[in-house]
Structures are given as structure tokens and as C-alpha cells.
Amino acid sequence: MSVPPLDGAALASALARPAIVGMTPQRYPDPSGLRLDLNTNLFGPNPAVAQVAAALAEGRLDLTQYPQSDAAGLRSAYAKHLHVGPEQLCFGNGSDEMIDLLFKAYVDPTEVVAWAVPTFSMYRFYATVAGARVVEASFGPSFSLPEEELLAARPKVLVLCSPNNPTGSAVATSQVYRLATLLRDRPTAEGGPGLLVLDEAYGEFGGAHHASSIAAHPNLVVLRTLSKAMGLAGARIGMAIADGAVMDRIAAVKPPFNLNEVSIALAHAALDHLPWVEQVAMTVVQERQWLAQQLQSRGYVVHPSSANFLLVRPPGEVDEVVRRLAAAGLVVRHFPHQPALAGHVRLTVPPREVGQRLLAVIDTMGGSDGR
């Protein structure tokens, strides 16, 4: 019996994995203006960029050959910086890839992964691709972590973003340790121990760092990125830090050559400019406090933040605030499809002159109600 011919859409629907039916390509708008919606570094280029650009111009960086398949030299350099063993490190195309690799290594279809919401949307993306069963629990008052609800799901992987995107809230170190211990000792839905994944993308701006705690908590995996404080978002460099044996499984599903030679060179060079990174982080913290005070004096609700951004609720109509700022060339993030963040915008902490420009636009809206 012959099968009637299918057009492309019907063919794709017939062949696609059930887990991804209904998913759409991950494409983001690219509005013109100063991007205060991406949580990136707005305080100038990392000196590492000029250093690597010079190496390229002078022919000291060979792009005719593949890079090291496992970035061994880079792992050794960052192991010294982070005071861990090189076998505990794995680098990827942004920390996003490390999330993907974690789920590939440790989560089978229908196994439970969990986190509190609202949080970084890519956790759900990669979990959905993996076919995992996602459990999301809403943050409590003041964005407190819904610990009992998350543990009740008996997840194989529990993900914490601290400081959290988009709320800016951070999890206390004591709570991190307690959760790691409970996940180790309480059986998951599958009967074994669970992993605690701690995403520290914004750690330089106020959150604690926990890589040194992995020896005491071998089920803890820490994610870091060079996209935020280090100012290298365009290079797409992220890392996972874990117990050596835990890392072996992650490395087993990592493709070779996943970090290109230019990114490897930039990551190496960034270690030569750590004082610059520390100064940027310090300046962000100072400007965050100043901008928060300025917005509060104008009637905005400003949630406490340990990150390089502020989550705020304008006193007036949020769509009008977003529109007026965009018209002035200032792009902020709003959340029309997330009820928990209704009426809020998130904005990256900028240099003082940009902050003053933002406030000037707000002031033209008149009155404490933003109209």
C-alpha cells in the first residue's frame, strides 16, 4: 500500500520527537537603541579584547587549525584561579551549553527537574528538549525560595539561579548547603540521590561563590559565565565546576572543539585583567544603589538586587514606560506574558550618564503616577 506524499510541514510533524512538538525556533527581537534588557556589561570593553585582537593582527593566533578539543590549557588556568582541580572544569559555548550537557548526562525522559519561577527561561528550554518532567514552584514573598515545594517534587536535578534572573534575589549559602545535603540524602522519584545545580552567572555583583564547597558537597554543580562581569557575552564562554567523577559524565556528552580558538584566547586573556573586572563589579554595585534610590524617589517599587540589574514596578502604566524609554533609545525588558511579573520592567545597571538619561525620560512623564 503506497503512502501519500507529504509536504514539508506534514513530514516534520510526523517525524519530530514528541517532546519538541509545539516548540518554535529560539529567535529574539533585535531592537535599536541602548540595550538595557540583556544584563550585559555596559562599562566598556574588557582589555582582553584588545589583547586578543592584537594577537590576531600580528598572526600570533592560528585559526587554520582546530582548537584543543577539551580546552585543557584553559581548564588548567581557571582551575588555579578558582582553586579547584582541572578535572573539575568543563567549558562550553556559554553556560547555556553547560545546562544542555548536564541534562544530556543526567536526565532521562520523564525524570523530574525543578526550579523556582520566575527564573532564566533556558532551563525550561533545555529540559523540554531532553524530554524531562518539569516542576516549577513560585517564589514566596520577597522572592523567598519555595524550598519544601521543590523538595516535595523529589527532583533528580534542582536548579537554583543565585542571584536570580530576573528577580535579583540571592540564596543564602546556608540554604545552598542544606539543599545539597537533602538532595543527596533524600531519594528522588527514581530512588537515587539528586544534583543541585547552582547558576552563579551574576555572582560577581553580590552573590557568594560556592565552587570551593564541591569537595564537601559532591552533588553540587556550579555554573559560571564570562558574559556578565567579564564583559565577554559576544564570545559565548561558560563553564561548569563539579566533582571530578560528576564532571566525567558531563564531559562524556560534550562534543569536541565546542569552544573556538578566539574564545579560548579571550578567556585566557581575561585572567590577565581581573582588576578591571573587579572594578567594573564594584562600580555596578555603586550605580545599582544610586539608581535604586533615584527610582524609589520617583515612586517606583525597586526589588532588592544582588545582580547587575534591577527589577522595578513603575507607578504608572508599564507599557507606556517601556514605549517612552524605547522612543528615547533605551531598551528595557518587560514581561507581558508572565503574570508573576506583571507591571514590572527589568533594566541593566548602566553608567551614571546613562542612568541620568533614563531618569530624565521618566521625569518627562510627569507626576508620581508616571503620567
Burial of 196 (C-beta count, 10 Å sphere; 0-12/13-18/19+): buried
Where residue 6 falls among pLDDT bands split at 50, 70, 90? confident
Interval 139-183: pLDDT, tens: 999 999 999 999 999 999 999 999 999 999 999 999 999 999 999
The residue extents of the domains of the chain are 26-44+275-364, 59-272
Q: Which residue type sits at 89?
A: L
Distance CA 53, CA 265 (A): 10
Contact assessment for residue 308 and residue 206, using Cβ atoms and an 8 Å cutoff: no
Task: Indicate if the pLDDT at residue 367 is higher than 80.
Answer: no
C-alpha cell at 299: 515612586
Q: How far is CA 202 from the centre of its chain?
A: 8
pLDDT of 272 reads: 98
**Topology (CATH level 3) of domain 59-272:** Aspartate Aminotransferase; domain 2 (3.40.640)
Interval 198-245: pLDDT, tens: 999 999 999 789 999 999 999 999 999 999 999 999 999 999 999 999
| Residue 337 host element (H or E) | none
Q: What is the DSSP letter of 109?
A: T
C-alpha cell at 43: 562599562
Distance CA 136, CA 183 (A): 17
Give the CATH architecture of domain 26-44+275-364. Alpha-Beta Complex (3.90)
CA end-to-end span of the chain: 69
**Residue spans of beta strands (DSSP E) within the chain:** 34-35, 89-93, 112-117, 133-138, 157-161, 195-199, 220-225, 237-241, 301-302, 309-313, 330-331, 333-334, 345-348
Provide the whole-model pTM. Answer: 0.94
Interval 40-53: pLDDT, tens: 999 999 999 999 99
